Copies of this chain bind each other. A is one copy, B any other.
Amino acid sequence: MTSQPGLTSTTMSPIPNGTLLFNEIPEGYPEPGKTTVYDTTQTIDLGNIPLNGGILIKTLVLSVDPYLRGKMRDPAIKSYSAPFLIGQPLTNHGVGLVLRSENPDIKVGEHITGVISFQQYSVITALKLSTVSVIAKTEESIPWSAYIGVLGMPGRTAFYAWREYSKAKKGEVAFVSAGAGAVGSMVVQLAKLDGLKVIASAGSDEKVKFMEQLGADVAFNYKKVDTVSVLKKEGPIDIYWDNVGGATLDAAFGSANVHARFVECGMITTYNSKEGYPFKNIFEIVSKRITINGFIVWDWTDKWEDEFYRVVPKKIASGEFKYSEDITNGLEHAGEAIRRIQTGQNIAKSVVLVAEDKQ
């Protein structure tokens, strides 16, 4: 097999291909070096590795999201998302630069986004090409990392479910937990756009400042201020956007208005613990006639994707929608980024910058 025109050198020898491997199912929080290990022993021959109809990419950015914890499980346990396999690279949404292609629709030098491996370089086989898409050059000049954040899975998660389930009415009160996160920060802005009073919680003063910049009417650090008393004072709440579950969800039950809508996006407080949270106010589901909807973003692609693209990129480019990134430099530190997001230490959308955008 001959070398490919997309590479700067036509004769290349194998080079190291750093890879983050899933190594052990965590008991509680994932531990870098134990749950995941960064393997530097693998090599790749960029010019000669067989593509068999697929493409070779250089990984530029990778997303780190709360839901990855759910994939670090015993594969015997079924869940909505496939488990990671011990000894295999982690995978998640990312952006890659195409170095070689045997697919006529994907050109060398283009950028693809989709679920890719936590590897510096990887081959996406012909069979898996349907899971990635080529990033169109839009008129807005938006950084690649945005495609895994505000324009990627988290941004869509917020947009699709807000449109589908919030039933927001001007003047209502919305409460958003993890309001500085990748999803929550978009929800805060969507709620303000719809004319709601927004209460937003997060776990650091830095996050509180960011939520205020996003327009939250009441932003608080739940580690310093009691959520129950904030909601009692500022509520009752008509919409609760739940990213955390546990005590915060119970507080939301306790301050729900009649006919409140709860959007269940995630429950990060449950991911790292086998102890269930003893809900005291769950009967309010009946008493306040609450509607609760759990959802997974890809259930709603067909219905909301077009409107998402019509609305969001423009508002991102104009600065009307703000976003913030918590950047980790280097794939070798991705394991720490994964842990940081589970413990709430990330400030904003967690992004791993793997490499620069050049061939």
Contacts of A291 in B (CB 8 A): 291-294
Closest to A278 in B: B276
Residue in contact with A285 in the complex, picked from B271, B278, B292, CB distance below 8 Å: B292
Task: Give the 4 A-B CB pairs with smallest separation, nearest first.
Answer: A276-B278, A292-B292, A285-B294, A286-B294
Known: A288-B294, A292-B293. 7 other contacts (CB 8 A): A266-B286, A274-B280, A277-B282, A279-B279, A286-B295, A287-B294, A291-B292
Question: Is A12 interfacial (CB 8 A cutoff)?
Answer: no
Question: Is A65 interfacial (CB 8 A cutoff)?
Answer: no
Question: Is A267 interfacial (CB 8 A cutoff)?
Answer: yes
Minimum CB–CB distance for A66 against chain B, Å: 11
Question: Is A130 interfacial (CB 8 A cutoff)?
Answer: no
Contacts of A290 in B (CB 8 A): 292-294
CA distance A258 to B280 in the complex (A): 27
Closest to A273 in B: B280
Question: Is A289 interfacial (CB 8 A cutoff)?
Answer: yes
Contacts of A139 in B (CB 8 A): none
Interface residues of A (CB under 8 A from B): 70, 79-80, 245, 250, 258, 264-267, 270-271, 274-280, 282-296, 299
Closest to A269 in B: B283
Minimum CB–CB distance for A350 against chain B, Å: 19
CA distance A101 to B304 in the complex (A): 61
CB atoms of A279 and B280 under 8 A apart:
no
Contacts of A283 in B (CB 8 A): 245, 267, 270-271
Minimum CB–CB distance for A276 against chain B, Å: 3
CB atoms of B80 and A287 under 8 A apart:
yes
Contacts of A284 in B (CB 8 A): 294
User: 6 A-B residue contacts at CB 8 Å?
Assistant: A250-B276, A276-B277, A276-B278, A276-B282, A286-B295, A292-B292
Of the candidates A280, A282, A294, A295, the one having the most CB atoms from chain B within 10 angstroms of its own CB is A294
CB atoms of A264 and B277 under 8 A apart:
no
Contacts of A271 in B (CB 8 A): 283
CA distance A51 to B278 in the complex (A): 50
Contacts of A285 in B (CB 8 A): 264, 292, 294
Minimum CB–CB distance for A252 against chain B, Å: 13
Minimum CB–CB distance for A179 against chain B, Å: 18
Of the candidates A79, A276, A280, A284, the one having the most CB atoms from chain B within 10 angstroms of its own CB is A276
CA distance A265 to B280 in the complex (A): 17
